[in-house]
A = this chain, B = another copy of it.
Amino acid sequence: MTTAIQTEPKAPARERGAGEENIFRVACHIFRERGYHATSMRAISSTLGMQPAALYYYYPGKENLLFRIMESAIDALTARVLEAINPADPAPQRLRQAIGAHVTAVADHLDELGVFFQELRALSPKRREVIQAKRDRYEHIFRDILQDGVDSGELTRVDPRLAGFVILAACNWLYSWFKPDGAYRPEEIAAAFGDMLLHGLLP
């Protein structure tokens, strides 16, 4: 598993230069629109108006590019949510913070996270394992808050795994229907999701 990671270029996603950033952004968009398998490196380089060789200079292969997108997506999502949570706050409030950060992250990185939620199967087993491990750690942020809240009595006695699935499903699924110019702002969605998940649908 570590071998696969070591073959990736060393620079973390944050340090992409302007040229690389542009490739990354365009590739995210095309992968999300058409799907990974339906997209060739040639289609990406042609959209960018560059020679395929220039694209391969940054990303030695299509799957490497996909892996970099997925890693960047889950790293960014995790960082956003961890930054948003105040560990001193009660569990229900921390849940709202986490939901809010996830929803706005999906809205802000729609292409990147759209690819992340749709293309896991397209990765080779070793790279998929790396991403799955990161996704599991991410999901545990939510389960830990739920477990805390159940233990402290701040939340009702739900199964934190099942409750985590409901919350994450609502937040993840957003990539499939959210429109930046649509009827709902991310903050509205986050507040509505938080209200609904904490208070339920009964009056």
- A interface residues with partner B (beta carbon < 8 Å): 33-38, 92, 95, 118, 121-122, 146, 149, 153-156, 158-159, 162-163, 165-166, 168-170, 172-174, 177, 184, 189, 192-193, 195-203
By DSSP majority rule, is chain A's interface helix, strand, loop, or mixed?
helix
Query: When A34-B121, A37-B37, A196-B163 are in contact, do A201 and B149 touch as well, CB less than 8 Å?
Result: yes
Contact of A35 among B37, B154, B166, B192 (CB under 8 A): B37
A165 x B173 contact (CB < 8 A): yes
Compute how far the CA of A40 lies from the CA of B66 in the bound complex, rounded to whole angstroms: 22
B197 x A166 contact (CB < 8 A): yes
Enumerate chain B residues within 8 angstroms of A163, measured Cβ to Cβ. 192, 196, 201
